[in-house]
Amino acid sequence: MPRSFEKSQKKKERLPIKTREGLIRHVEADLEQKEEEEAGQEEGSRESEGEDEMERVGGDDDEANSEEEDKEDDESKKPLPTKAEQRQQILEAKEELAQIGLSLNEDPEENSHLFRRLRELSYSRLPTIKKLSLATQLSVYKSVIPGYRIRPLTAEEQTAKVTKEVRKLRTYEQALVHSYQQYVEHLSLLSRGGVPKSPNSKTPPRPRTKLDLDLAHLAVTCASSLLHSVPHFNFRTDLLKILIDRLSKRTIDLTHIKARQTIEELFRTDEDGTASLDAVQLLVKMFKARRYNIHESVLNTFLFLRLLTELDVKASQDRVDKPTLDSSSDPNANSKKRKRGGDPKKAFKTKRQKKLEREQSTVLAELKEADAIVSSEEREKMQSETLKLVFSAYFQVLKDRPEGNNLMAATLEGLAKFSHLINIDFFTTLLAALKELIQDAAALASPYFPSMSSQNSSANSQSQTTRESLLCITTAFALLSGQHAPVVPLDLTFFTSHLFTLLSPLSLNPDLEYNHKSLRLPDPSLPHRPSTQISKVNLSTQTSLLIRSLTSVLTPPHPPRPPPSRAAAFTKRLLTFSLLAPEKSSIASLGIIAETARKNRGPAGSAVKNVFRLGEKVGDGRYRVNPLAGSAWEVALLGRHYSPKVRGAVEEVVRGVGGEKLQKNYHRTYSQPEIGLYALSVHIGTPLSPFPPYMYVPT
């Protein structure tokens, strides 16, 4: 049989091994196995080089999504481990995540390759490991992200020769940006309640489970934390899309509340206005796509915007602010202090040193002033664009009036807050829309004509209608107060008349001083239990809105002053309102009367005093308010009010209007209790006994 050298050709001797018996054993290895190992190593190195190249260049969103879907499919095909194996895997994953987090926090530039391992752990089949990986990545990125935005390198910068430190920093920054982008994309997929299948996939999408909802909540929480901690960094728009996509749903849960609070905090803390502009653009785009079928609290987020609050500063009309002497603004400030006996421990400086310091301080002051001007211009530009988008959303709601959602109150609150920033060209259109809203509200819920009101309207809807009417009136007068009256002549008679009409039904409202956060038990006599109101931004009660409207009507900050008939009519109606309203509302309305008499020294002030004068009053026979033909008989009952604060407020009003002489006359006239009882009986239409001849009885 011929010799065969096949074995010698496929074998290779290795180092000999000495066994326990003392024998020397020769070890041989197969060449085929070695070649396979070398080929596998070369293939793995090629794959790693390809992945590094993809990280440097970046990938398309569809490719990233398909890779993630393939990972999910591969993981789902593997058999589930036992509970003991799961506990062991979770324990090992915790140790590995802790080690990776420590290494990245210690030296992220040297350990930038660990970002990929963190991302791989987030695709684990075990939910606990996936959640731990997402939370670990959140903590790591919040600690290693720099305080500046990383921009992509240009072609010239990539080919230019740089130092070793610069090249190392650039490599780390690009790896950080790519890993952070993959993390944000993963959060975006999880926030939708599970990884969606691509259109080309033949397998149908699996239904959402409780685990998908938990991961969606975790993804929104991570996105909110990143947007709160590092709003300046890359992919801010992607984080905003995650939150706004959740806000587009009308279902209110913890995730919705968390996303809304994050947007509100972003609006409140944004200084330059760039992040606010991005968020408002996405919100308005979402409003249009949803046809304004959104929740009221989402539109209320606009009330947290810092729109021209720091830039729109008006100078004082009473005094002139003098600039303070500072070393940065006055180069000779130090020399002046030294001449007056300044600090003796100060080091001596030559004339040359003093001259250099003065020149340096002057240059620094000029640079600081130039930077402030540029930043102010950029911020004003950003906030102006944001303001246009906000008003476009508000005007669209006023125009369309979408049914089924309560956006009108939120719109009116926003217009009332930003009314001083509205352009003059929109005044006529806006006032016409507000007037139409008040007319519709009066027709749907009229306190005097129940047949015109809706049969199914509840107390909450009527209260909401009254609130909207007060907001319309407040917005209309805010337009006038925000502009100069001679330049913008506005006829607000309709709003004044409607406010006068609202005083009587408001005085009978027991919930006048409550808002949705007031802790109180519901009325058991109501046929329908009031529903729990969602928290609003504007916590003002109806009393506070009423006081704001009355202040704008009776004591405006700018001329013209109210006419005498209007001042007297509101005084008489406010006295009746104080008689029936709750304690705090009565005190506030009496304060409005005193303020009206104090600020209006002309004919309006005289008309207010005439209401409180005693004696005969003659009417003209016309069915009008005729406030000057009546008497302030309500003082008789208000002087015997159960609250000592209300009694003290009435005395202050009488003293402020007519002085001590009028106060003594009122004490002498209204000291008898039967006078107040007779006044009340006349008011309700059933006289009890003949009235004293020195007191006018209103008919």
Q: What's the pLDDT at 460?
A: 55
State how far the Cα of 602 lies from the Cα of 608, in Å rounded to an integer.
Answer: 10
Q: Return the top range by mean pLDDT from 324-333, 460-469, 512-521.
A: 460-469
Q: What is the pLDDT of residues 15-54, one digit of tens each?
A: 777 776 667 777 665 554 544 455 445 444 444 444 444 3
Q: What's the pLDDT at 222?
A: 93
Q: What's the pLDDT at 8?
A: 45
The least confident of 430-444, 457-471, 546-560 is 457-471
The structure tokens 């004044």 sit at: 496
Nearest of 121, 57, 60, 64 to residue 94 by alpha carbon:
121
Q: With beta carbons less than 8 A apart as the criterion, state whether 482 and 419 touch.
A: yes
pTM of the model: 0.68
Amino acid at 533: Q
State how far the Cα of 386 lies from the Cα of 421, in Å rounded to an integer.
Answer: 12
Q: Return the top range by mean pLDDT from 196-210, 435-449, 556-570.
A: 556-570
544, with CB counted inside 10 A (0-12, 13-18, 19+), is: middle
H helix count then E strand count, the chain: 26, 4
Percent composition of the chain: helix, strand, coil (DSSP 3-state, to 5): 65, 0, 35
Give the up-direction half-sphere exposure of residue 42: CA atoms within 13 A in the CB hemisphere.
Answer: 6
Q: What's the pLDDT at 160?
A: 85
pLDDT confidence band for 183 (50 / 70 / 90)? very high
Amino acid at 85: E
Higher pLDDT, 415 or 628: 415
Q: What's the pLDDT at 411?
A: 87
318, with CB counted inside 10 A (0-12, 13-18, 19+), is: exposed
Q: What's the pLDDT at 620?
A: 54
Amino acid at 89: Q
Helix H or strand E segment including 325? none
Query: Does the pLDDT of residue 612 top 70, yes or no?
Result: yes
Handedness of CA 72, 73, 74, 79 (dihedral sign): positive
Q: Work out the percent of the chain whose per-residue pLDDT is above 90.
A: 15
State how far the Cα of 551 lies from the Cα of 535, in Å rounded to an integer.
Answer: 27
The structure tokens 């999910």 sit at: 72
Q: What is the pLDDT of residues 74-108, one digit of tens each?
A: 555 566 678 888 888 889 989 999 999 899 988 88
Helix H or strand E segment including 13? strand 11-13
DSSP state of 209: -
Q: What's the pLDDT at 529?
A: 52
Tokens coding 327: 């070393």
Structural domain boundaries in the chain: 1-52, 60-304
Ramachandran bin of 401, using left for φ above 0, alpha for ψ from -120 to 50, beta for the remaining angles? left
Query: Does the pLDDT of residue 480 top 90, yes or no?
Result: no
Query: Does the pLDDT of residue 688 top 70, yes or no?
Result: no
The least confident of 103-112, 273-282, 465-474 is 465-474
Q: What's the pLDDT at 595?
A: 87
C-alpha angle with apex 565: 562 to 569, nearest 5 degrees? Answer: 100
Q: What's the pLDDT at 687?
A: 43
Other beta carbons within 10 angstroms of residue 230's beta carbon come to 19
Q: What's the pLDDT at 185?
A: 92
State how far the Cα of 283 lies from the Cα of 390, in Å rounded to an integer.
Answer: 10
Q: What's the pLDDT at 442?
A: 73
The structure tokens 């049989």 sit at: 1
Across residues 499-527, what is the average pLDDT?
A: 74
The structure tokens 């209608």 sit at: 465
State how far the Cα of 413 lies from the Cα of 280, in Å rounded to an integer.
Answer: 17
Q: What's the pLDDT at 696?
A: 38
Across residues 235-239, what is the average pLDDT?
A: 93
The least confident of 164-168, 318-322, 546-550 is 318-322
State how far the Cα of 62 lies from the Cα of 539, in Å rounded to an integer.
Answer: 46
Long-range contacts of 635-643 (CB under 8 A, 24+ apart): 635/575, 635/666, 635/670, 636/670, 636/675, 636/676, 636/679, 637/579, 637/676, 637/679, 637/680, 638/575, 638/578, 638/579, 638/586, 638/590, 639/666, 639/670, 639/676, 640/673, 640/676, 641/586, 643/583, 643/586
DSSP state of 455: T
Higher pLDDT, 672 or 537: 672
Across residues 611-627, what is the average pLDDT?
A: 61
Query: Does the pLDDT of residue 151 top 60, yes or no?
Result: yes
Q: What is the mean pLDDT of the chain?
A: 74
Q: With beta carbons less than 8 A apart as the criterion, state whether 498 and 442 touch.
A: yes
Q: What's the pLDDT at 524?
A: 64
pLDDT confidence band for 698 (50 / 70 / 90)? very low
Tokens coding 224: 């909110």
- 538 CA to centre of own chain: 11
Query: Does the pLDDT of residue 640 top 70, yes or no?
Result: yes
Q: With beta carbons less than 8 A apart as the criterion, state whether 156 and 168 touch.
A: no
Query: Does the pLDDT of residue 516 top 80, yes or no?
Result: no
Q: Return the top range by mean pLDDT from 258-262, 450-454, 469-473, 609-613.
A: 258-262
624, with CB counted inside 10 A (0-12, 13-18, 19+), is: exposed
Contacts of 262 (CB under 8 A, 6+ apart): 224, 227, 228, 243
Q: Return the top range by mean pLDDT from 11-20, 161-170, 275-284.
A: 275-284
Q: How far is CA 447 from CA 342, 456, 683, in A?
A: 75, 15, 19
Q: What's the pLDDT at 60?
A: 44
State how far the Cα of 508 lies from the Cα of 146, in Å rounded to an integer.
Answer: 60
Q: What's the pLDDT at 677?
A: 53
C-alpha angle with apex 421: 418 to 424, nearest 5 degrees? Answer: 125
State how far the Cα of 181 lies from the Cα of 58, in Å rounded to an integer.
Answer: 9
Higher pLDDT, 50 or 374: 374
